[in-house]
Amino acid sequence: MSTMNISLPETLKSFVDEQVRQRGYGTSSEYVRELIRRDQDRLQLRGLLLAGGASAPTEPVDGAYFDALRDRVRQHTAAGPQNRLGE
């Protein structure tokens, strides 16, 4: 693992320290890594949404389509964090 040093104003450092304490992170590095992972996920989701919006229209969907979609999401979620989108 490589190292990166960052400089923060005291107010931001205090905020990070408080988040580490309140959320049960072992170190500020764990907290920052989680923020970066969430940002990666957000960017990937944004890309997928933009690609979907730019794709050709298909046939209309009905309630059964959304029921099946919810089932797929539940199965994916039950599989655990190692199966996050894009991994």
Q: How confident is the model at residue 84 (pLDDT cuts 50, 70, 90)?
A: low
Please determine, for residue 18, whether its predicted confidence score (pLDDT) is greater than 70.
Answer: yes
Q: Does residue 32 contact residue 16 with C-beta atoms inside 8 Å?
A: yes
pLDDT interval class at 59 (50, 70, 90): confident
Which sequence spans correspond to the domains of the chain?
10-79
Tokens of 69: 């979609």
Contact assessment for residue 31 and residue 20, using Cβ atoms and an 8 Å cutoff: yes
Task: Give the pLDDT score at 87.
Answer: 46
pTM to 2 decimal places = 0.64
